[in-house]
Amino acid sequence: MRQRVTIFAFYLLVAIGAASQCAQAVNLTVNCDRHESIRKALHLLATTNPQGPNTITVSGSCKGNFVIKSMDRLTLITKKGASITDRSNGSLAVVDIEDSHSVTLQGFTINGAGVSCNTASVCYLTGNTIQAGGVGIGGGSRAFLESNVIQDGGGSTVSDGSQMFSSTDVFQGNGQGVALQEAYFEASNSSFLNNGVGILASVSNLLLHGGTISESIGNGMTLLGGSTAVFRDGATITGNGGNGVHLEDASFAGFQSATVTGNLSGLDVDCAPQFTITHFVARTGGITNCIEPTSASRLKAVE
């Protein structure tokens, strides 16, 4: 076993040395089923070539919790469906990205405590299945998600001035599909299915292009603390156990193009009594108690 690890480390050092001499990208492979180490590969790259570009191609069933700190232009990718499973019993992220830019995680199954993108990092998550954990974005970071499935855990949390952009992702079976606190979220054709709450936002801004929020236990979307949500390109919010969209505390919802119908509380768009605002709510086709000026909407308030 020790000889195999030593040989693996030697080849990593040779690859890095050759790439440094030729001023080219470093491309490494790690096969966890052969007891090769993602941690060792990351440590060597962080020591010798932290600015990248670097690529680590991973295969097999991996276990551990990995920190990527102060590294740029790094890609972790699997072509054969590799998995990474938490070893910390939920106390640490499986992949923790800190103070790093243009870090890509592509094609993995992540089991356990999920992925963290923090400390002004820029992260790209593509084609992953993240389960029993979630994705956390904080510290002014930006995350770009595409074609991921985030399920059976904490969903995605975005906080502290961070931004998340989602395209064709599926958030399902989570306590909250997406939870926002002082953050920005933009989604294009993503789905929020069978969560406790589809989207929960406080002091945040949202833009939804299309997509579906359905079958939440509670509200499809809850807007608190002066949050703003704009719906475009035929977003659909239906079949949720509470309201389709619930607004409180000076929040605003603008329905440029959306269908909000068939939610089970009796109200599809619910304006709580204190300082809520909607625009073009009549376009949703649903039942509402929201009041708008005649010039903005011809729908009368529900008595």
CATH number at residue 165: 2.160.20.10
pTM of the full predicted structure? 0.87
In a domain, 61, yes or no: yes
Q: In tens digits, what is the pLDDT along the chain, a chain of 303 residues?
A: 444 444 445 455 545 554 444 447 899 999 999 999 999 999 999 999 999 999 999 999 999 999 999 999 999 999 888 999 999 999 999 999 999 999 999 999 999 999 999 999 999 999 999 999 999 999 999 999 999 999 999 999 999 999 999 999 999 999 999 999 999 999 999 999 999 999 999 999 999 999 999 999 999 999 999 999 999 999 999 999 999 999 999 999 999 999 999 999 999 999 998 778 788 888 899 999 988 765 444 444 333
Q: Which domain holds residue 163?
A: 53-284
> How many domains does the chain contain in total?
1
CB 80 within 8 A of CB 61: no
In a domain, 46, yes or no: no
In a domain, 124, yes or no: yes
Helix (H, G, I), strand (E, B) or coil at 114: coil
CA dist 105 to 12, 93, 97, Å?
20, 14, 10
In a domain, 27, yes or no: no
CB 106 within 8 A of CB 128: yes
In a domain, 289, yes or no: no
In a domain, 168, yes or no: yes
Q: Quick one: CA torsion of 51, 20, 75, 43, rounded to 10 degrees?
A: -80
In a domain, 171, yes or no: yes
CB 289 within 8 A of CB 301: yes
Tokens 């001035």 belong to 161
In a domain, 186, yes or no: yes
